[in-house]
């Protein structure tokens, strides 16, 4: 049995040469695209590693400062958490989302009280009350204000507020 002599015909030679050149070109394009993608991934990973290292250093600094503050103020109790509750929110705002956003806004306004000793927080409780009551919340074209009804202070600050229309 004999193998057909296709390698001698010019049309088959052009076909095989074109296939070989196409394979080489496509392999080159593949390597280029793969290299570009890998370079982008490596750049992203390097940026993320730098960010992770910065955040780890910041965490170490904050933990050192926090432990120093705790050692300095072992006799004093510090505020650890702030809880805000709107008591009559269902009466004015039909959606819980608005109530939660108001509570979160108040928490954000008072967030600098965390890790403060209770004596300084208690001495400034009138300022805290004015901070809460002077803020106006525009929701759906209406303006609302808060009135503080309860203020309890321990390691957790618990504040109850009532919402009403702003005049």
**Can you give the pLDDT at residue 92?**
80
> What letter does residue 78 receive in the DSSP assignment?
B
Among candidate residues 90, 79, 81, 98, the one with its CA nearest the CA of residue 137: 98
The secondary element (H helix, E strand) that includes residue 83 is: strand 81-86
**Can you give the pLDDT at residue 73?**
64
Whether 75 shows a pLDDT value over 60: the answer reads: no
Quick: pLDDT tens for 16-70.
889 999 999 999 999 999 999 999 999 999 999 999 999 999 999 999 998 888 7
Provide the pLDDT confidence category of residue 76 given band limits of 50, 70 and 90. Answer: low
C-alpha 158/C-alpha 100 separation (Å) is: 15
Structure tokens at 21: 């050149």
Among candidate residues 83, 133, 130, 143, the one with its CA nearest the CA of residue 107: 83
Burial string for 55-67 (b: 16+ CB within 10 Å, else e) reads eeeeeeeeeeeee
Quick: pLDDT tens for 111-132.
888 888 888 888 988 999 999 9
Whether 3 shows a pLDDT value over 80: the answer reads: no
Residue ranges covered by each domain of the chain? 6-72, 81-165
Mean pLDDT of the chain: 88
């Amino acid at each position: 049995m004999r193998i057909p002599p296709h390698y001698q015909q010019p049309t088959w030679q052009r076909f095989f040469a074109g296939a070989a050149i196409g394979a080489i070109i496509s392999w080159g394009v593949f390597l280029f695209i793969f290299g570009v993608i890998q370079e982008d991934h490596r750049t992203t990973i390097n940026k993320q590693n730098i960010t992770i290292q910065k955040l780890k250093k910041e965490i170490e600094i904050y933990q050192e400062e926090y432990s120093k503050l705790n050692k300095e103020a072992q006799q004093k109790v510090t505020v650890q958490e702030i809880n805000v509750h709107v008591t009559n929110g269902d009466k004015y705002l039909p959606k819980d989302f608005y109530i939660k956003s108001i509570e979160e806004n108040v928490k954000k306004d008072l967030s600098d009280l965390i890790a403060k000793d209770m004596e300084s927080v208690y001495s400034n409780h009138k300022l805290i009350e004015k901070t809460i009551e002077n803020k106006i919340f525009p929701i759906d074209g209406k303006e609302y204000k808060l009135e503080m009804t309860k203020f309890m202070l321990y390691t957790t600050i618990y504040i109850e507020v009532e919402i009403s229309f702003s005049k």
